[in-house]
Amino acid sequence: MLHDQDLVSVQEVRSKVDQAFTAWQTYRNFTQEQIDAVVEAVAAKGRAHARRLAEMAVEETGMGNVADKYTKNMLTADLLPRTIRGVRTIGVLREIPELRVTEVGAGVGVVAAICPTTNPTSTVFFKTIISLKSGNAVVLSPHPRAKNCTCAAAALMAEAVAEAGAPAGIVQCLGSSTLEGTQALMKHPKVGVILATGGAGMVRAAYSSGKPAFGVGPGNVPILLDSSADITEAVGRIVDGKSFDFGTVCSSEQTVVAERQLRDQILSQFKAQKAYLLTDDQRKAVERTLFSGGTTVRADCVGKSPQRIAQMAGFSVADDVRILLAEIAGVGKEHPLSAEKLSPVLAILFTDGFDACMDACESILRFGGLGHTSVIHAKDEAKVRRFGLRMPSFRVLVNTASPAGSVGITTGLQPSMTLGCGAMAGNSTSDNVGPLHLINTKRIAWAIRSAEEALPLTPEPAAAPAGIDKAQLVAAVERYLAQKGVMVGGAASSAPAPAVRDTIAGVVDRFLAVKKPPEAAPPGPSCGCGVKTAEPQPEAARPEARKAEIPAPAVEIVDFVCEADVRAAINQKRKIFIGPKTIVTPSALELSGRDEILVRAER
């Protein structure tokens, strides 16, 4: 019997992945209608137990609050299934008649679902529902500090699946979750894809496992509170977002940025909305309490109430305080509260002008939140557009609390608990992950055109280069052919036959298509350092070469050169002299290049 916990965990991984994979062999043949029935049953079970599981999560982890944990459970068990209802994921997805293409969806197999301690039960609902909707099996790996509530939620999902007629084992949860076990799960050969939610180390491990993976980056969300906004409404939404589940959502507000001229009005509204403004000494105490090793949040501060954090920092606040508010002077390591805080602590920074506000918001994103989420509260649509186009974040929210907007509660975004941050943050997607990310798409494509129709092999007739008349070229070719007797009936005085005339025009077109202007003379010699050296003097300029010039021999410049002429010249080891008006067929031009048979001369 195994007693080593790591070995027990690894063995459990092997067993449960095998069971999930076996169940998937049956589930993969379910119709879309059968799959949708399973999803509806799972969602209904989640809704029925959403409150109890929220209570379990808070009790076990000590993070967040029951009301907001319940909201997150309902997001994934109610809004998510309603949003994806009717979405096709398996079998024929769509037909494209004009292209004669049929798209067919297929699941990827077993999904390895890593669950966090901050959102344990809602993540189980979310990852189970999107895995089943996309025709896959799922193996859930709990965080050790949230194992009981995670496994309880998974057991309910498995119960609902069985009641709906899905194969036993399609939903699995690891009861002996360890780091080694989680790594074994991510690397298991029967796992098709990884859904990783957790710390940066876990996400990196998922991407380095050799499996396709969807991970997320950290969120350090800036909020631009513009002068065009309704300040009262905007501050209310910001406090709602920051206090939601005591700041455990990765898209929670982190630092508000506003113009200095609005300072008194904004701070007054925050106080009216039950925000406690820290003194300078209290701010420093909170910084020392929240962070270890620079800007790493202490685990015992994550998701704690503002009253608890104040107590840990050595002071007290009233019971009705919703968030702690700290004014900071800049962004970066010298200002720790400009980083992600995972708690109901909000920073605020005042600067001069809208452009300076955008500069600060971009700096905040680059200080630990690249690609995630940014927010602007404004009525000026031109400013909203400028902000949205500039921010290096893939969710730009307008006039909403950030947690609710980012996960699709108050916006039209895909309801999701996995928010991709794109390539700039090392993620494989910038989307709110949903069921369509967990399928592969096959395409049945009929031939609709020939290769010649798609990629014409015959060049279009070329226009004559400047100074060359196409009609004169055709006439010159006709005269040459007349000398050779290539005419109707063989009579030299006859007009060319139509077929011959068409052939002549085609030859001229090809000639013009390949005719190139003379290449420019090569530059003078160089030593390689970018400075030209002196060019050699012409032979006639040298004193020892000043001899009487010998006249060049007379040459015969021909009017027309074909491939046969070039071959004959090669065999006879002679040159062919051509002038500006000489017609050279493309094949003759190509053949002559190897032996430099053609020599350009003037008449």
Distance between CA atoms of 61 and 119, rounded to whole angstroms?
Answer: 10
Residue 518 makes CB contacts below 8 A (sequence gap 6+) with none
Distance between CA atoms of 215 and 197, rounded to whole angstroms?
Answer: 6
DSSP state for residue 138 in the 8-state scheme: E
Residue 172 makes CB contacts below 8 A (sequence gap 6+) with 16, 17, 19, 20, 137, 138, 139, 140, 154, 158
Distance between CA atoms of 135 and 23, rounded to whole angstroms?
Answer: 11
Q: Which helix (H) or strand (E) element contains residue 141?
A: strand 137-141
Full DSSP string of 191-236: EEEEEE-S-HHHHHHHHTTTS-EE------EEEEE-TTS-HHHHHH
Structure-derived torsion over alpha carbons of residues 30, 32, 38, 41, reported in degrees to the nearest 10: -160
Structure tokens that stand for 66 in this block:
């029951």
Half-sphere exposure of 272 (CA within 13 A, CB side): 13
Strand partners, 141: 114
Provide the residue count of the chain.
Answer: 603
Distance between CA atoms of 395 and 223, rounded to whole angstroms?
Answer: 12
SS3 179: helix
Q: Do 209 and 191 contact (CB within 8 A), yes or no?
A: no
Catalytic residue flag (residue 301): no
| Sign of the torsion angle spanned by Cα atoms 379, 385, 391, 395 | positive
Distance between CA atoms of 497 and 484, rounded to whole angstroms?
Answer: 14
DSSP state for residue 422 in the 8-state scheme: -
Full DSSP string of 514-573: H--PPPPPPPPPB-SSS-BPPPPPPGGGSGGG--PPPPPPP-PEEEEE-HHHHHHHHHHT
Q: Shortest CA distance to 308 belongs to which of 324, 328, 297, 292?
A: 324
115, 151, 250, 357: the active-site residue: 250
The C-alpha angle with vertex 226 and arms to 224 and 232, in degrees rounded to 5, equals: 100
Q: Which residues are catalytic?
A: 250
